[in-house]
Structure 1
Amino acid sequence: ACVGHECDLALLEVEEEEFWGEEMTPLPMGGIPELQDAVAVAGFPQGGDNVSVTGGVVSRVDLTQYVHGAARLMAIQIDAAINPGNSGGPAIAGRSVVGVAFQNLRNSEGIGYIIPTCVVDHFLADYDATGRYVGFCSLGVRCQSTENPMLRASLRMPPSSAPSGVLISHVRPKGAAAGVLRSGDVLLEFDGTPI
């Protein structure tokens, strides 16, 4: 019914009511889990016909390159095995869905990624409002974290116990930020919200 290539999500329609079987109670959507929170991922990876559940912990929450759509969006890194066939399966923490399994880091073990519910919610809100996926807005910039103490010193930023701000490393000539931001700028807040 709807595909969001940028965020690697699709909304499917089921034609046969028998698919749903007996009455089911959907799990609630949760927020972004904390680092080291336990997460279980369900799916149908290669090598079997039955559902498989694998578990791990949250290792990182960060902007990540989405392989399918080539966008950098929020993602949750977990150490559970996410293999071909797990994509699209729910990631569950406690009794809530915290995301959708979608990719792993090639040539590595124990590095999988899930799409967080904030990205899923945006995708669904687009569909509810317009009947299609509209997408995420973009400033048209590439940026770099300023958590490295040496980088902060070279930019004349005060030392910080918590990462704050990003260094603008590239501005697309026709992007939304062209003429407003330039390479070398440090962005500390956006519309009053600290970065």
Structure 2
Amino acid sequence: MPVASPATSPQQPAPPQQPAPPQTPAHAPTAPSDGGASAAHGSWPPPPPPGTPAYGGGAGAGAGWGAYQQPAPKSGGGRGGLVAAVLAAALVAGGLGGGLGYTLAKNDDSSSTTVAVADGGPASVKRDPGSVAAVVAKDLPSTVTIEAEGSNGEGGTGTGFVFDTQGHIVTNNHVVADAVDGGKLTATFPSGKKYDAQVVGHAQGYDVAVIKLKDAPSDLKPLPLGDSDKVAVGDETIAIGAPFGLSNTVTTGIISAKHRPVASSDGTGSKASYMSALQTDASINPGNSGGPLLDARGAVIGINSAIQSTGNGGFGTGQPGSIGLGFAIPINQAKYVAQELIRTGKPVYAKIGASVSLDEGTGGARIVDRGTSGSAAVEPGGPAAEAGLKPGDVITKLDDTVIDSGPTLIGEIWTHKPGDKVRITYKRGGQEHTVDLTLGKRVGDD
């Protein structure tokens, strides 16, 4: 699966050069010698492409682990980058205008030109209630551009949207990560109103975070939430964000795939996040992270989080840009995570209590012989143990979803909630078996 880059933009004028995310051919990375992190210990797997241990039973790589995804980056280049981008655009426009003016003057020595102006302005144009323009007019005022700054002065820009009338804003974890410990957060609405904010809770594994506006206005309008389970390939999509710092930008596309296993990392060595993503060809760039992916009715069906990129920069920022492969966290999953963060401040993860390998060629998610630091690969008394699963078993299906790797298994497990009953299909000694189990629970990212 591709490893996506975050769609957030660093703010510092000259951020340290980050290496381009490695592009992995359609094969899974090699698992670490210890076979992966044990779900029993809840330890974080190292970021891909080296093997990412099963976090509750799998890691969210893409089908076949095509390439390492980078989280949809924060808006590109920060203040310095944005100024440079705007200046570059202005210079191009100025050069074009000057050349055009000279040509008209040269060819218009004696003749005159009459220009007809259409009656009425933009306000007189009547747009269909179901048009993109109508949807955006209704939803854009409930989105914000988020600026996060850490205590060390580093930070970035991303996007978020109004979740409730109490002032909670949903975004990506990697958008606000710099401001979690003693940093500063601000959220700016398209109207220009700017509010200080604070982190309510963040989930590294899901890449979801909730912030709350300080002195939130009383007229907040939460965006309507759709049903991501009912989304179909080919459905129209609308993405709102601040690509490369250009706030309130709208792009359109379609759902190009569903259940795309994705592991994302910001390339700085931080922990990876995993999702069974909605894939869209709507243009998503650094700065779109945390923004809403809307359906044609204007309901949120996902949170834009990561992009597949060739590593080429854009607007002089050196950051990757859109190649038409964007990934969003399904809103049904994000809604549950956000509600838990608001309620307790901590994320809750479903788990099967087993560690699986990320090796290619296993035909599924193979339970390793031992977990991290020599711990048991199958957690004693955990869901997998109670279901009779053993080291060496290869999980090939979770309900009706084909499992082709350990990363795929994690992404699928995390679309469920603790307590959900699932059917596991696995192979042992060449024979296929099916067993039902109830997913366990782990609280927190540690």
Q: CA offset at residue 89 of structure 1?
A: 0.5
Q: Highest relative contact order (Cα 8 Å, sep 6+), 1 or 2?
A: 2
1:39 partner amino acid: T
Q: Distance in 1 between matches of 2:359 and 2:302?
A: 25
Closer/same/farther in 2, CA of residues 133 and 181 from structure 1, 3 Å limit:
same
Q: CA 1:115 to 1:35, structure 2 compared with 1: closer, same or farther past 3 Å?
A: same
Match of 2:306 in 1: 103
Q: Corresponding residue for 1:11?
A: 210
Q: Secondary structure at the match of 1:35?
A: coil
The one-letter amino acid of 1:41's match is A
User: Kindly tell me: are residues 75 and 144 of structure 1, through their superposed partners in 2, closer, same or farther at Cα, counting changes over 3 Å?
Assistant: farther
Alignment of 1:157-176 (within 5 A): 167-171=364-368, 173=371, 174-175=376-377, 176=379
Q: Deviations over 1:41-82 (max 9, x none)?
A: 10111152x401111111222221132542432111111221
Letter in 2 for 1:58: I
Give the equivalent residue in structure 2 for 1:116.
330
- Structure 1 segment 11-160 matched on structure 2, within 5 A: 11-18=210-217, 22=219, 24=221, 26-32=223-229, 33-48=231-246, 50-61=247-258, 62-67=260-265, 69-95=271-297, 96-107=299-310, 109-138=323-352, 139-142=354-357
CA distance in 1, matches of 2:346, 2:395: 35
Tell which structure's C-alpha radius of gyration is larger. 2
Q: Deviations over 1:64-111 (max 9, x none)?
A: 113254243211111122111100100001221101011101216111
Q: Could you report, residue by residue, the CA deviation over 1:146-167 in whole angstroms, capped at 9, with x for unpaired residues?
A: xxxxx9xxx9xxxxxxxxxx72
Secondary structure, counterpart of 1:121 in structure 2: helix
CA RMSD of aligned residues (A): 3.2
Give the 3-state SS of the residue equivalent to 2:213 in structure 1.
Answer: coil
Distance in 2 between residues matched to 1:77 and 1:8, nearest whole Å? 16
Report whether the alignment pairs 1:185 with 2:388.
Answer: no
1: distance between equivalents of 2:390 and 2:233?
32
Q: Distance in 2 between matches of 1:81 and 1:140?
A: 36
Instruction: Say if 1:90 and 1:192 are closer, same or farther in 2 by CA, change over 3 A.
Output: closer
Higher relative strand content: 1
Which residue of structure 2 aligns with residue 161 of structure 1? none
Q: 1:109 to 1:115 in 2, by over 3 A?
A: same
> More helix by proportion, 1 or 2?
2
Distance (whole Å) between structure 2 residues aligned to residue 113 and residue 12 of structure 1: 22
Kindly tell me: are residues 127 and 25 of structure 1, through their superposed partners in 2, closer, same or farther at Cα, counting changes over 3 Å?
Answer: closer
* Percent of residue pairs bearing the same amino acid type: 24
Distance 2:398 2:306 in 1: 31
Q: 1:124 to 1:185 in 2, by over 3 A?
A: same
1:83 alignment partner AA:
N
Equivalent residue for 1:148?
Answer: none
Equivalent residue letter for 2:291:
G
1:46/1:25 Cα in 2 relative to 1: closer, same or farther (>3 Å)?
Answer: same
Q: Tell me what 1:158 maps to.
A: none
Change (3 A) 1:187 1:181: farther
SS state of the match for residue 127, structure 1? Answer: helix
Q: Which runs of 5+ in 2 are unaligned?
A: 1-199, 311-321, 400-420, 426-446
Number of equivalent positions: 174
Question: What CA distance in whole angstroms lies between the structure 2 residues aligned with 1:37 and 1:52?
Answer: 20
Q: Which has the higher mean CA deviation after the structures are superposed, 58-67 or 22-31? A: 22-31
Letter in 2 for 1:102: S
Check 1:16–1:91 CA distance in 2 against 1; reply closer, same or farther (3 A cut): same
- Matched position secondary structure for 2:336: helix
Residue 364 of structure 2 aligns to a residue whose secondary structure is strand
The offset of 1:168, in angstroms, is 2.6
Give the distance between the partners of 1:184 and 1:193, measured in 2 at CA: 15
Instruction: Indicate conservation of the 8 Å contact 1:45/1:83, yes or no.
Output: yes
- Alpha-carbon contact 2:237-2:254 (below 8 Å) kept: yes
